[in-house]
């Protein structure tokens, strides 16, 4: 299957082709029907359509001849003797047109030039049609009514094409346009479109190579070869244009022919692709699913209405549909939940029909999981060290206990919510100032302490190589560590230039070594993780140093240690057994605490205790800073324990232990711990264990003054099971923020009333009942049995109908979907490890990690080992690589 | 123009004041500013500040009736004592709506590209504060000052826009947001660390002892990055471009500091205020036990905002910058507002008032709080004397939101207040009724007031009356 066909192909057909015009050639010899001459090819086409078969309508120019240069012989001109009518438009005419005037019995010369300009003046085309039909009717009154009918048809087609043109222009307006040739630029000016145009072929090829997703290539009439180039551009839509690009219509015929050919090629390729899809996939989608979509979905989700910004019309072929597995997953979800079609629609699919859709989506997912759609390790953008990584890297580079990055601005994050997403790590000037300041502070720190100073300046200028030799040795070692790979000569030379400048300025050796270190610390090679780029068209393994770096920032949020560097130097790290052993070693290192804080903290939400979580101080005076810190530490310690002991990831859902100190024990209403030290405590209350029993998570999923069953319900679906419910509409009223503001009903009753709102109902009927199961915990995670003075009703129900009435029951229910939780963990972990959002091409890796972890009873080390061994973690690719689906032989079923 | 320079030089000579600057190794002698751009009656520079209030407003209690401000609606009441410096503008449309898109459209005047991917964020053009900052960067210590009260968000908003859009109003370039400082101590230090005065005039602060990068270091670092850039793929180049730009900015800052410092205006009055604000901030920041457990300073919200505005006002008074912004919160601000009398709940939930009477009242109280904060800043500027007038007279101070009202998430008719005298070019006391002009029209008018060239937003219209 051809990959280039994947994006919807937009062909704005030239008007001539859309109307079914054909290029006309010489008139037939010895014709007995009236002869009509027309000075303009386009006009001739119009006239031909209007006149019908009873006339010989001729644009008297042989194909391929230039109108301006053609000087027909008297013999040729004689062919047109006895013409009845000559339509001569107002465009500048060469001599032959004048010569023809004498040959026609009647010359019609309306003012103005008939040409399709950029604006495509269809109204004037309509006027021409009128003129032609009037003239012909005059000539042969008997034909008048037939001619009038044809003229009407013609005008209608013109109007349609005008509408089509207008639509195309609207589409174009929102696309990014790139074009070739000066004509394109001129045309753009007239049409008020912004087109990046170039007349430099290599520049155009560059544009073609890296199109933005919505780039449309506008290709001028002379540039048919570039059409071919554009066609090979992935993700680019192709627009062919002919009219209006040229000021004249001399080679109208060849232009139309070229366009027709281009469109033919496109259509043929599309057909081929579809045909090959049929072989690969069969057309089960078209047979079984498309009719259901047309019946139940298209009313709202079509191009016109586009409810929820979803237009199914573009997914009505299997070739288009299969590339959006994420979209279909959400379709299956809402169909399964019964959210769609909306309940107030009478036209509802039967259970069997719903199952058909769900089954198809499941099979599509399986095809992706099996790697049938092709292999693509993805590509993480060059990645800046984030705040945390910077702190830890400085710690490990110099062995200093300082956290210079605490003063840096907070980072944002990507779609999956982790702040190590390469694309979201911007480098504003303020941050660069911070880096410079921090570098200064660090160098000062290194020099302030005699131990760290001699550690840095390990080579002394008194040795054989003198000052320069010592400097070279020192800087080579430190730059290699800082850049996380052996320093290259050029890099070292740069640093030595700084050193030499300092020596020349009269500084002593030790002082002269300060600025080179400063340069290392603000170097792009230190601040960014740039991986070795190989010149390969196919994906390739990352080299061992890059693998060491990937591994250490994944597990430690910091630079590789000596052991990892050593293995990379020997080229052994990429051996699977070595890699696996290293992951196990690293996970049990104290440095792996970064995972508990940053990976798990951002996934499960205890990170929010550092920022957003803000229980009301008056309502919850117990929520002191000490409690905040203690709750955070409980969660982080719990996760750290899982890593240390290779426990099961399902302990995160339910466990009979946690880590508490005196403050937390009091908060949770249990006893037996004193002091501020966290201790592992066995829990007797089955409601408490796992993240859903943690005050950190319960606080982060509450509002300042009350709990929110909706937020907690969504948390279970999204954060734990990886099946987020659809987002609410924007214009909804919220419940009072304070449950005490609701009089004479329980909060649950109020919520039930709120759910009556048609906007809210479909989703909240699914989400809230999950949250009810957690209502026994208040907004800061304490146990309660009443709310607002009334007894709590904690009966809940899962989307699949399973009922529960306590947090303990809810956890059991979640554990019945270990597959979902495990897969969610695999996705989160892989996204965190790669520093990017996942794409469908990561599905095979996710599926494999999930399978291995499930098979291993949920051992947490297995999850990390499998991520480290996964294809996207060990491989990379260059820009422009396009994965290829497996061939039909291997993939057909 | 001459008057002001003379009088200031006179003052400085008498004072012998100096500030130590973050990057500066050399001593600085404050001297003359090469005043470019718009100027007050005596050549005072005109500054621009923008305040961002998230989640819209209760229009019933915000929109003034009639064309004057003689009768102020309840939300605008805090501006009462200085309506002569204030214009309320209604009927302006943001370039996009929604919590995310509306936030980054607020100062760019353009509809941001709809995407959840940070790699694709695009706001069309730099924000107005950055454009102004760039225009005066040669003569200011800091081209721009970005302050905020909440940490940025991760993930994707309900509308499908990346929360990068929700988190920032400042954009250095179409794809590069500018983060803001949320810690008042750090904001203060960046401007005034080591500010000191002695009878002899100069003192060198501790911070300057360490080794600093100079041009030679930065040049080598730049060279190195450029050679790295050549080895990288296309998708990485934008990131490296950010790096190169940032290093060049730092380089420029170092180089222009001596010149920029000449534009500083540190009278003993200003110095006294610097010291007083510094001590306020230290007091409010309290002990630092929060350490790494807290990503944001543990200061009550109202005070936090006021300390930030103190720093901002001082940055203007000392002529350290010409463009400053403050985000009272990100575009989806959900802070607990229960510290306000008669208010329970968080800002975002309260903004979803359902057009019901009670919740609308509560929402109005929250809105009033933000206008009151804004009024604090205006008062602060008004009390800072400058030449024959005050800093407010020589400033343009914008206040606005991402959306119209919490219930309706579109950007039509967003609340806008424009205060300050722009050096005598902007008349106050008016309710300017727009006719659906886009916010970009206002930005173009502001650029005119500031005498800054450049194009911003879609189209070319201006707001009539400004």
B225–A428 C-beta distance less than 8 A:
no
Disruptive mutation site among B110, B186, B220, B296 for chain A (greatest number of A CBs within 10 Å):
B220
Q: Please state, as a whole number, how many other Cβ atoms lie within 10 Å of the Cβ of residue A90.
A: 14
Contact (Cβ atoms closer than 8 angstroms) between residue B62 and residue B125 = no
Q: Which two structure tokens, joined as six digits, stand for A591?
A: 């440095």
**pLDDT score recorded for residue A110:** 63
Residues of A in contact with B163 (CB under 8 A): 412-413
Distance CA(A613)–CA(B295), nearest Å, equals: 11
**pLDDT score recorded for residue A29:** 41
Is 60 exceeded by the pLDDT of residue A659? Answer: yes
Farthest CA pair distance, chain B: 65
Residues forming beta bridges with residue B327, ordered by sequence position:
B52, B148
Distance CA(A441)–CA(A272), nearest Å, equals: 64
| DSSP code string of A119-158 | T--HHHHHHHHHHHHHHHHHH-GGGHHHHHHHHHHHHHHH
**pLDDT score recorded for residue A147:** 87
What's the DSSP call for residue A777? B
Distance CA(B455)–CA(B443), nearest Å, equals: 9
Q: Which of residues 50-89 of B touch A (CB under 8 A)?
A: none
What Å distances lie between residue A61 and A31, A57, A94, A223, CA to CA? 17, 12, 12, 23
Can you tell me which residue has the tokens 């400058």?
A: B386
Residues of A in contact with B293 (CB under 8 A): 609-610, 628-629, 632
Disruptive mutation site among B246, B334, B402 for chain A (greatest number of A CBs within 10 Å):
B246
Confirm or reject contact between B225 and chain A (CB < 8 A): yes
Q: Measured between CB atoms, which of B210, B239, B295 is closest to A382?
A: B239
Q: Which residue has the higher pLDDT, A377 or A758?
A: A377
Q: Which of residues 603-622 of A touch B (CB under 8 A)?
A: 609-612, 614-619
Euclidean distance between the first and the last CA atom of chain B, given in angstroms as a whole number = 23
Distance CA(A836)–CA(A86), nearest Å, equals: 68
Distance CA(A736)–CA(B336), nearest Å, equals: 13
**pLDDT score recorded for residue A95:** 64
Q: Measured between CB atoms, which of B117, B296, B350 is closest to A837?
A: B117
The fraction of chain A above a pLDDT of 90, given in percent, is: 45
- Average of per-residue pLDDT values in chain A: 80
Distance CA(A525)–CA(A768), nearest Å, equals: 49
Distance CA(A66)–CA(A172), nearest Å, equals: 32
Q: How close A352 gets to chain B, by Cα (Å)?
A: 32
Side-chain-side CA neighbours of B395 within 13 Å: the count stands at: 38
Q: What is the pLDDT of residues A175-208, one digit of tens each?
A: 556 666 655 666 566 555 566 766 666 666 666 5
pLDDT band at A451 (very low <50, low <70, confident <90, very high): very high
Contact (Cβ atoms closer than 8 angstroms) between residue A270 and residue A245 = no
Mean pLDDT of A495-520: 96
Can you tell me which residue has the tokens 């394109």?
A: A184
Confirm or reject contact between B142 and chain A (CB < 8 A): no
What Å distances lie between residue A864 and A580, A583, A660, A854, CA to CA? 9, 7, 27, 13
Question: Range with the lowest mean pLDDT among A471-485, A724-738, B6-20, B283-297?
Answer: B6-20
Q: What angle do CA A613, A614, A618 make, to 5 degrees?
A: 155
Below-70 pLDDT ranges, chain B: 1-37, 194-210, 257-262, 287-294
Helix-, strand-, coil-residue percentages of chain A, each rounded to 5: 55, 5, 40
Phi-psi region of A525 (alpha: psi -120 to 50; beta: other; left: phi over 0): alpha
B116–A415 C-beta distance less than 8 A:
yes
**pLDDT score recorded for residue A273:** 53
pTM: 0.73
Distance CA(B353)–CA(A737), nearest Å, equals: 11
Q: Measured between CB atoms, which of A412, A490, A730 is closest to B153?
A: A412
B344–A444 C-beta distance less than 8 A:
no
User: Nearest Cα to A660, choosing from A644, A645, A685, A648?
Assistant: A685
What's the DSSP call for residue B81? G
User: Nearest Cα to B51, choosing from B111, B113, B122, B106?
Assistant: B106
Distance CA(A275)–CA(B265), nearest Å, equals: 76
φ/ψ of residue B227, rounded to 5? -70, -30
Q: Which of residues 373-402 of A touch B (CB under 8 A)?
A: 379, 381-382, 384
Report how many Cβ contacts below 8 Å link chain A to chain B: 249
Question: 3-class SS at A180?
Answer: strand
Residues forming beta bridges with residue B304, ordered by sequence position:
none
Question: Range with the lowest mean pLDDT among A243-247, A708-712, B343-347?
Answer: A243-247
Q: Please state, as a whole number, how many other Cβ atoms lie within 10 Å of the Cβ of residue A310.
A: 16
Is 70 exceeded by the pLDDT of residue A16? Answer: no
User: Nearest Cα to A388, choosing from A86, A546, A601?
Assistant: A601
User: Nearest Cα to A620, choosing from A703, A534, A710?
Assistant: A703
Q: Which residue has the higher pLDDT, A530 or B213?
A: A530
Q: Which chain A residue is nearest to residue B115, measuring alpha carbons?
A: A415
Q: Which chain A residue is nearest to residue B97, measuring alpha carbons?
A: A730
Contact (Cβ atoms closer than 8 angstroms) between residue B178 and residue B168 = yes
The fraction of chain B above a pLDDT of 90, given in percent, is: 54
Confirm or reject contact between B160 and chain A (CB < 8 A): yes
User: Nearest Cα to A788, choosing from A750, A830, A824?
Assistant: A750
Distance CA(B320)–CA(B312), nearest Å, equals: 10
A426–B177 C-beta distance less than 8 A:
yes
Q: Which residue has the higher pLDDT, A112 or A156?
A: A156
Q: Measured between CB atoms, which of A501, A522, A734 is closest to B352?
A: A734
Is 50 exceeded by the pLDDT of residue A430? Answer: yes
B117–A602 C-beta distance less than 8 A:
no
Distance CA(A248)–CA(A61), nearest Å, equals: 15
Q: Which of residues 109-128 of B touch A (CB under 8 A)?
A: 116-120
B176–A407 C-beta distance less than 8 A:
no
Q: Please state, as a whole number, how many other Cβ atoms lie within 10 Å of the Cβ of residue A145.
A: 10
Q: How close B258 gets to chain A, by Cα (Å)?
A: 17
**pLDDT score recorded for residue A327:** 87
A703–B345 C-beta distance less than 8 A:
yes
B153–A490 C-beta distance less than 8 A:
no
**pLDDT score recorded for residue A7:** 26
User: Nearest Cα to A432, choosing from A523, A520, A558, A513?
Assistant: A523
**pLDDT score recorded for residue A777:** 95
Q: Which of residues 519-558 of A touch B (CB under 8 A)?
A: 519, 522-525, 527-528, 530, 533
Distance CA(B363)–CA(A733), nearest Å, equals: 13
**pLDDT score recorded for residue A761:** 67
Q: Which of residues 797-856 of A touch B (CB under 8 A)?
A: 837
Q: Which of residues 45-104 of A touch B (CB under 8 A)?
A: none
Q: Which chain A residue is nearest to residue B289, measuring alpha carbons?
A: A625
User: Nearest Cα to A699, choosing from A820, A790, A608?
Assistant: A608
Q: What is the pLDDT of residues B46-87, one digit of tens each?
A: 999 999 999 999 999 999 999 999 999 999 999 999 999 999
Disruptive mutation site among A310, A524, A756 for chain B (greatest number of B CBs within 10 Å):
A524
Q: Which of residues 278-307 of B touch A (CB under 8 A)?
A: 289-296, 298
Mean pLDDT of A229-256: 40
Distance CA(B413)–CA(B60), nearest Å, equals: 12
Question: 3-class SS at A338?
Answer: coil
**pLDDT score recorded for residue A409:** 86
What's the DSSP call for residue B84? G
Confirm or reject contact between B211 and chain A (CB < 8 A): yes
B155–A427 C-beta distance less than 8 A:
no
pLDDT band at A218 (very low <50, low <70, confident <90, very high): low
Q: Which two structure tokens, joined as six digits, stand for A14?
A: 């030239």
Residues of A in contact with B174 (CB under 8 A): none
A533–B151 C-beta distance less than 8 A:
no
Question: Residue A596 burial (CB < 10 Å; 0-12/13-18/19+)?
Answer: buried
B118–A414 C-beta distance less than 8 A:
yes
Q: How close B411 gets to chain A, by Cα (Å)?
A: 13
Question: Range with the lowest mean pLDDT among A41-45, A593-597, A618-622?
Answer: A41-45
Is 60 exceeded by the pLDDT of residue A788? Answer: yes
| DSSP code string of B412-449 | TTEEEEEES-GGGT---SEEEE-SS-BHHHHHHHHHHH
Residues of A in contact with B186 (CB under 8 A): 407
Residues of A in contact with B254 (CB under 8 A): none
Q: Measured between CB atoms, which of B212, B344, B409 is closest to A730?
A: B409
Residues of A in contact with B212 (CB under 8 A): 436, 440, 518
């Amino acid at each position: 299957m051809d990959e280039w066909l994947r994006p919807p192909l937009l062909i704005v057909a030239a008007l001539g082709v859309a109307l079914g015009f054909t290029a006309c050639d010489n008139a037939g010899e010895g014709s007995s029907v009236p002869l009509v001459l027309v000075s303009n090819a386009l006009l001739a086409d119009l006239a031909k359509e209007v006149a019908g078969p009873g006339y010989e309508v001729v644009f008297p120019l042989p194909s391929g001849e230039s109108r301006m240069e053609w000087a027909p012989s008297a013999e040729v001109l004689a062919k047109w003797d006895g013409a009845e009518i000559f339509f001569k438009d107002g465009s500048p005419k060469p001599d032959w047109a004048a010569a023809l005037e004498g040959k026609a019995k009647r010359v019609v010369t309306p003012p103005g030039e008939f040409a399709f300009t950029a604006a495509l003046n269809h109204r004037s085309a309509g006027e021409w049609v009128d003129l032609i039909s009037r003239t012909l009717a005059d000539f042969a009154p008997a034909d008048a009514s037939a001619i009038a009918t044809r003229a009407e048809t013609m005008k209608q087609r013109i109007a349609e094409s005008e509408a089509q043109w207008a639509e195309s222009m609207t589409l174009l307006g929102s696309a990014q346009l790139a074009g070739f040739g000066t004509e394109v630029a001129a045309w753009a000016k007239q049409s008020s479109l912004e087109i990046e145009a170039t007349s430099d072929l290599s520049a155009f090829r560059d544009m073609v190579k890296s199109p933005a997703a919505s780039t449309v290539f506008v290709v001028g009439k002379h540039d048919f070869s570039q059409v071919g180039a554009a066609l090979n551009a992935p993700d680019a839509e192709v627009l062919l244009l002919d009219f209006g690009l040229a000021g004249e219509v001399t080679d109208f015929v060849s232009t139309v022919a070229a366009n027709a050919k281009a469109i033919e090629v496109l259509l043929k390729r599309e057909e081929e692709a579809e045909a090959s899809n049929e072989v690969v996939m069969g057309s089960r989608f078209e047979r079984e699913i498309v009719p259901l979509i047309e019946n139940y979905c298209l009313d709202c989700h079509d191009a016109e209405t586009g409810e929820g910004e979803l237009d199914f019309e573009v997914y009505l072929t299997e070739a288009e549909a299969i590339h959006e597995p994420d979209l279909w997953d959400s379709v299956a979800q809402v169909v399964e939940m019964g959210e769609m079609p909306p309940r107030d629609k009478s036209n509802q699919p039967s259970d069997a029909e719903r199952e058909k859709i769900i089954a198809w989506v499941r099979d599509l997912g399986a095809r992706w999981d099996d790697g049938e759609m092709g292999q693509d390790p993805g590509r993480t953008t060059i990645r800046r060290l984030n705040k945390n990584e910077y702190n830890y890297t400085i710690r490990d580079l110099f062995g200093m206990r300082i956290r210079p990055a605490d003063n840096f601005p907070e980072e944002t994050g990507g779609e999956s919510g982790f702040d190590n997403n390469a694309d979201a790590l911007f480098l504003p000037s303020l941050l660069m100032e911070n880096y410079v300041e921090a570098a200064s502070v660090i160098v000062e720190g290194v020099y302030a302490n005699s131990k760290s100073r001699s550690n840095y300046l390990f080579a002394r200028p008194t040795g054989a190589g003198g000052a320069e030799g010592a400097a070279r040795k020192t800087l080579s070692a430190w730059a290699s560590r800082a850049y996380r790979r052996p320093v290259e000569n050029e890099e070292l030379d740069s640093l030595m230039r700084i050193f030499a400048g300092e020596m020349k300025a009269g500084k002593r050796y030790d002082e002269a070594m300060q600025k080179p270190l400063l340069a290392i610390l603000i170097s792009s090679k230190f601040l960014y993780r740039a991986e070795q780029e190989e010149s390969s068209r196919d994906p390739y393994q990352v080299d061992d140093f890059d693998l060491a770096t990937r591994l250490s920032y994944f597990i430690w949020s910091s630079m590789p240690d000596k052991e990892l560097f050593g293995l990379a130097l020997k080229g052994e790290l990429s051996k699977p057994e070595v890699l696996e052993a290293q992951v196990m070693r690293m996970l049990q290192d104290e440095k792996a605490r970064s995972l508990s804080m940053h990976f798990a903290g951002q996934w499960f939400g205890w990170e929010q205790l550092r920022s957003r979580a803000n229980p009301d101080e008056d309502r919850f005076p117990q929520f002191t800073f000490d409690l905040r810190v203690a709750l955070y530490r409980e969660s982080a310690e719990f996760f750290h324990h899982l890593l240390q002991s290779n426990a099961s990831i399902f302990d995160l859902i339910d466990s009979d232990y946690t880590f508490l100190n005196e403050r937390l024990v009091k908060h949770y209403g249990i006893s037996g711990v004193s002091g501020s030290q966290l201790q592992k405590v066995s829990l007797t209350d089955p409601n408490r264990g796992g993240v859903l029993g943690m005050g950190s998570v319960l606080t982060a999923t509450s509002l300042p003054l009350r709990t929110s069953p909706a937020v907690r319900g969504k948390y279970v679906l999204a954060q734990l099971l990886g099946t987020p419910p659809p987002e609410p509409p924007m214009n909804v009223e919220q419940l009072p923020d304070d449950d005490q503001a609701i009089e004479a009903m329980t909060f649950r009753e109020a919520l039930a009333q709120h759910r009556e709102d048609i906007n809210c109902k479909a989703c909240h009927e699914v989400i809230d009942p999950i949250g009810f199961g957690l209502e026994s915990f208040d907004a800061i995670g304490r146990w309660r049995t009443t709310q607002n003075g009334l007894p709590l009703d904690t009966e809940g129900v899962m989307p699949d109908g399973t009922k529960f009435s306590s947090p303990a029951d809810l956890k059991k229910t979640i554990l019945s979907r270990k597959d979902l939780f495990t897969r969610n963990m695999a996705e989160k972990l892989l996204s965190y490890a790669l520093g990017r959002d996942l794409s469908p091409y990561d599905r095979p890796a996710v599926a494999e990690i999930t399978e291995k972890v499930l098979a291993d009873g949920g051992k947490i080390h297995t999850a990390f080992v499998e991520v480290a061994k996964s294809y996207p973690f060990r491989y990379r690719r260059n820009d422009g690589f396009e994965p290829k689906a497996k061939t039909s032989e291997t993939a057909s079923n | 123009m001459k008057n002001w320079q003379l009088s200031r030089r006179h003052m400085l000579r008498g004072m012998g004041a100096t500030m130590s600057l973050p990057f500066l190794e050399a001593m600085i002698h404050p001297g003359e500013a090469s005043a470019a751009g718009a100027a007050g009656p005596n050549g005072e520079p005109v500054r621009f500040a923008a305040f961002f209030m998230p989640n819209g407003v209760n229009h019933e209690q915000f929109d003034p009736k009639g064309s004057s401000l003689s009768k102020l609606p309840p939300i605008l009441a805090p501006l009462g004592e200085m309506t002569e410096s204030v214009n309320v503008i209604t009927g302006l449309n943001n370039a996009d709506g929604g919590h995310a898109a509306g936030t980054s459209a607020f100062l760019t005047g353009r509809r941001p590209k709809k995407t959840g991917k940070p790699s694709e964020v695009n706001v069309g053009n730099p924000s107005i504060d950055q454009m102004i900052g760039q225009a005066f960067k040669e003569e200011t210590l800091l081209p721009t000052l970005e302050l905020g009260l909440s940490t940025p968000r991760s993930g994707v908003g309900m509308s499908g826009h990346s929360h990068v859009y929700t988190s920032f109003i400042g954009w250095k370039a179409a794809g590069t947001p500018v983060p803001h400082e949320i810690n008042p101590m750090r904001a203060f230090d960046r401007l005034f660390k080591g500010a000191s005065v002695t009878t002899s005039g100069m003192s060198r602060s501790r911070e300057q002892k360490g080794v600093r990068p100079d041009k030679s270091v930065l040049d080598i670092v730049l060279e190195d990055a450029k050679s790295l850039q050549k080895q990288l793929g296309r998708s990485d180049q934008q990131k490296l471009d950010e790096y190169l730009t940032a290093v060049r900015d730092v380089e420029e800052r170092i180089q222009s500091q001596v010149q920029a410092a000449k534009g500083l205006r540190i009278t003993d009055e200003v110095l006294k205020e610097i010291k007083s604000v510094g001590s306020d901030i230290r007091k409010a920041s309290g002990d630092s036990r929060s350490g790494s457990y807290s990503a944001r300073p543990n200061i009550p919200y109202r005070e936090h905002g006021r300390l930030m505005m103190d720093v901002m006002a001082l940055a203007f008074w000392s002529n350290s910058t010409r463009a400053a912004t403050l985000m009272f919160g990100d575009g989806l601000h959900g802070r607990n507002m229960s510290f306000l009398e008669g208010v329970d709940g968080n800002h975002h939930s309260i903004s979803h008032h359902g057009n019901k009477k009670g919740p609308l009242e509560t929402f109005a109280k929250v809105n009033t709080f933000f206008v009151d904060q804004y009024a604090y800043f205006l008062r602060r500027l008004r009390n800072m004397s400058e030449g024959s007038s005050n800093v407010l007279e020589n400033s343009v101070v914008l206040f606005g939101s991402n959306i119209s009202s919490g219930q309706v998430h579109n950007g039509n008719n967003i609340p806008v207040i424009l205060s300050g005298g722009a050096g005598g070019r902007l008349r106050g006391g008016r309710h300017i009724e727009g006719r659906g002009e886009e916010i970009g029209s206002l930005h173009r008018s502001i650029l005119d007031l500031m005498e800054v060239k450049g194009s911003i937003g879609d189209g070319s219209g201006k707001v009539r009356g400004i």
